[in-house]
Amino acid sequence: MSPAAPVTDPVTAPAVPRWLQATRTVKGYIALTKPRIIELLLVTTIPTMVLAANGWPSWTLLLSTLVGGALSAGAANAFNMYIDRDIDAVMKRTRNRPLVTGAVSERGALVFAWVLAVVSTAWFVWVVDSPLAALLSVLAILGYVVGYTLILKRRTSQNIVWGGAAGCMPVLIGWAAVTQSLSWTPVLLFGIIFFWTPPHYWPLSMRFRRDYADAEVPMLPVVASTHRVAVEMIAYAVAMVAVSLLLVPVAGMTWVYALVATAAGAWFVAGCVRLYRRSERGEDKLREMRLFRDSITYLTIVFAAILVDPFLPDALTAVAS
């Protein structure tokens, strides 16, 4: 008889410390809100509120509106990740999202999204004391979750054009929080971001074209030629600059804002034209991610000019005297 094989203990993975597991879970819930997108949304909210108040609004109102906006955007983004968890698992760019890795459970993500949505609405009503801002916040969540994520994203190449309108809502919310009303000025601010969104997002879609194709998401760069996408980007960028300059007569902006908006707009449109020319020559390197980053720089510059413009008449008068 052959000797019996020695008995060995099964190898088990070392237990993960509870504090580390808790840290991963917390980070997962934070990631559900897409913090980097929220930062960009808040960049547009502060200048809008300053313009609405023709100076600094109260710090209490400013901070409470920013908190409410972060909660509202976080809710929309969490719903988005819950709905898109299937395609996030397919795309390389999104495979590390918390619902794909299991850092957050599906039930936990859905409950978290609903909690943020309810709390943000109540926050705008009771803390910001603006039912109109609360209504606009709800519309923003519905627009992003239902309009973009559920209806448009997987059905049309114009998904980001119309679905991106939800990302324009923070300027309306910020204006409503200060004035309890809306006017043509916040509508124009909405228009700047609306026309900015396609030339901002399509370069990213170009870079990750294969990802979207694998996930069967018909982003325009997936279903159309780069040449056509570049042409449409130029058109949207030109419209964006035109709307930004309409603020001068409508909102009474100074020549300083007009100069900054014109220069920044010309610079960004030129970037779109350069991408178009590269596509026309059939170049492999379109440098689309550079244009993506430039789009963020453009929006930051224009809204920084909006932020300081209400203070410029007094400053210019003081310098002149």
Question: Phi/psi at 97 (nearest 5 deg)?
Answer: -70, 150
Percent of the chain with pLDDT over 90: 81
Side chain identity at residue 10, one-letter code: P
Instruction: Give tens-digit pLDDT for 167-186.
Output: 899 999 999 999 999 999 99
Contact 32, 80 (CB under 8 A): no
Cα distances from 98 to residues 14, 92, 111, in angstroms, run 22, 14, 15
Distance CA 93, CA 91 (A): 5
pLDDT at site 220:
95
- 8 or 271, higher pLDDT: 271
Q: What is the pLDDT of residues 50-96, one digit of tens each?
A: 999 999 999 999 999 999 999 999 999 999 999 999 999 999 989 99
What are 243-252's pLDDT values in tens digits?
999 999 999 9
Alpha helix ranges (H) inside the chain: 18-32, 35-53, 59-83, 85-88, 98-101, 106-126, 131-142, 159-163, 169-179, 184-207, 209-214, 220-223, 226-251, 255-280, 288-308, 312-320
- Read off the pLDDT of each residue in 25-34 and give the average, rounded to a whole number: 92
* Closest among 100, 147, 94, 138 to 117, alpha carbons compared: 138
**In the block, which residue shows the tokens 């929309």?**
76
Q: Is the pLDDT of residue 46 over 70?
A: yes
Instruction: For tokens 């018909």, name the residue.
Output: 218
Domains of the chain: 28-181 (1.10.357.140), 183-312 (1.20.120.1780)
247-306 pLDDT, tens digit each: 999 999 999 999 999 999 999 999 999 999 998 888 878 889 999 999 999 999 999 999
Q: What is the mean pLDDT of residues 108-122?
A: 98
Q: Which residues contact 84 (CB under 8 A, 6 or more apart)?
A: 94, 149, 153
Q: Which of 96, 76, 71 is nearest to 85 (CA)?
A: 96
Three-state DSSP class for 204? helix
Q: How far is CA 64 from CA 132, 133, 303, in A?
A: 15, 12, 20
What pLDDT score does 9 carry? Answer: 52
Tell me which of 306 and 3 has the higher pLDDT.
306
pLDDT score, position 312: 84
Summary mean pLDDT of the chain: 91
Q: Would the pLDDT of 29 be above 70?
A: yes
Position 17 confidence tier, pLDDT thresholds 50, 70, 90: confident
The CA distance from 198 to 192, in Å, is 11
121/143 Cα distance (integer angstroms): 15
| Type of residue at 184 | W
Query: Higher model confidence: residue 117 or residue 17?
Result: 117
Question: 42: pLDDT confidence band, cut at 50, 70 and 90?
Answer: confident
pLDDT value at 202 more than 50: yes
Q: What is the pLDDT of residue 1?
A: 47
